[in-house]
Amino acid sequence: MLECKYREERRPVCRWRGASKANYYVPALGCLGGIPFFLICLYSGNFYVALLLGLLGEYFIAECWFGPYMAAMQVGGE
């Protein structure tokens, strides 16, 4: 996870109060960000719009959860 030993560290991420939980926020935001693309895929009348905008956009947005989630799992096991 984020190793910020001193509150006065110069890295911007260490000055944020929620820095220790940042690995959990990114997967949640990615999940919520994929919802509009999923709805475009479901309700689009055109197959190509559903495929290219809906599924491809949803895949790129929603799959951002994997890296932070795995990092959180590795730190949680220590």
| Tens digit of each residue's pLDDT (9 = 90 or more) over 19-73 | 667 667 777 788 888 889 989 999 999 999 999 998 888 888 877 777 777 777 7
pTM: 0.61
CA distances to 23, 31, 75 from 61, rounded to whole Å, are 16, 8, 24
**Per-residue model confidence (pLDDT) at position 1:** 47
Residue 11 above 90 pLDDT? no
- Residue spans of the domains in the chain: they are 20-76
**Rounded distance between C-alpha atoms, residue 27 and residue 22, angstroms:** 9
